[in-house]
A = this chain, B = another copy of it.
Amino acid sequence: MIEKQDHEIPIRLESDIITVRKQVRTVATDLGFGLTDVTRIVTSASELARNIMSYAGAGVMRWFAIESEHRTGIELTFADNGPGIIDIEAASEPGYSSNGGLGMGLPGTKRLMDEMEIQSEVGEGTTVIIKKWLKK
């Protein structure tokens, strides 16, 4: 069950990525997502958590059960106070990576989820919000 008070996980160590994955798997499964969607959501969470580790050093993930027009869904927020993304558009293109990575994290997550929003301010930090709706 989703408890309001502990719907946040710190991301500081590489091992926190595992914690994020486990937590997201549990929450998504509890909300009623099937295995394929759970895997899509957990994979996305893993990408965004690793981005926080790689580019910001530390941050948090928050999760919410969301409702809209008879639909239920999951919303995950990945927030950090890192360096920010200078060119969000470029960073969202497949293959763009500032550290020799595959550059598939952001564009791939967009495909895996139903909605994705990136807010970033250079020097301030980055917040990525992703959503997935339960198929009726």
Q: Which residues of A does B touch, CB under 8 Å?
A: 99-100, 107, 110-111
Q: For A110, what are the chain B residues with a Cβ–Cβ distance below 8 Å?
A: 99-100
Quickly give the copy total for this chain.
2
Closest 4 CB pairs of A and B: A100-B111, A100-B110, A100-B107, A99-B110
Task: Across the interface, name the chain B residue whose C-beta is closest to A101.
Answer: B111
Task: Provide 4 A-B residue pairs closer than 8 Å at the C-beta atoms, listed in order of the A residue.
Answer: A99-B110, A100-B107, A100-B110, A100-B111
CB distance from A101 to the nearest CB of B (A): 10
A107 contact set on B, CB distance < 8 A: 100
Residues of chain B contacted by A100 (CB below 8 angstroms): 107, 110-111
CA of A99 to CA of B111 in the docked complex: distance in angstroms? 8
Q: How far is the CA of A110 from the CA of B107 in the complex (A)?
A: 23
Which residues of chain B come closer than 8 Å to A111, judged between CB atoms? 100
- By beta carbon, the residue of chain B nearest A107 is B100
A111 to B99, CA, bound (A): 8
